[in-house]
Amino acid sequence: MDAVRSRWSSAPDVSRLTCRPVDGPLDRATHHRIRHEVFVVEQGLFAVDDHDVHDNDAATIHVLGLDDGCPAGTVRLYPLGAGVWKGDRLAVLPDHRRSSLGAPLVRFAVATAGALGGSRMVAQIQTANVRFFQALGWTRVGDPADYLGVLHQQMSIALR
């Protein structure tokens, strides 16, 4: 019983977590600052900046994750055609990791693509995060391959 109680009391309070598309230039700058901190400064995946053509595409949806109102995470999604959507740039600031924001960001991207008529979402996942995505219902597609100098696994989830 004590074990149950202690697990319950340590369960994260997810009511403080929200995910939403960026709204205006300030939000957009915050989204990019978080990505920069994780993918450029922390991981060194990109030398200077992680912007690419999808950031300039009006079809791309940039998402912010907030922890108690504080911007702490990102994800980005865009259509590839034929009902397929791609999700990427999933990032949670180190100080907010394991506070359960990553999972809602992934679920938000999946729900958004589904609501917009998508049938499948795909993503290139760093192999360290494959179990995290599997727990969210994603499955592996093919074998891992090098992307930006890091092994990535293509994964996919049905949207309907």
Query: Which of 19, 61, 63, 92 contacts ligand COA by CB under 6 A?
Result: 92
H helices present in the chain, as ranges: 2-9, 25-35, 102-115, 130-135
* Interaction of residue 46 with ligand COA, rule CB under 6 A: no
Tokens coding 124: 């290139």
* Interaction of residue 60 with ligand COA, rule CB under 6 A: no
Query: Which of 100, 114, 144, 154 contacts ligand COA by CB under 6 A?
Result: 100
Backbone angles phi, psi at 57, to 5 degrees: -90, 125
Q: Which is nearer to ligand COA, 77 or 125 (CB)?
A: 125
Taking CB atoms, the residue at the shortest distance from ligand COA is: 102
Measured CA to CA in angstroms, residue 29 lies from 48, 134, 142 at distances of 16, 31, 35
Tokens coding 51: 């912007």
Cα separation, 79 vs 81, whole angstroms: 6
* Interaction of residue 33 with ligand COA, rule CB under 6 A: no
Contact set with ligand COA (CB under 6 A): 38, 90-92, 97-103, 125-126, 128-129, 131-132, 135
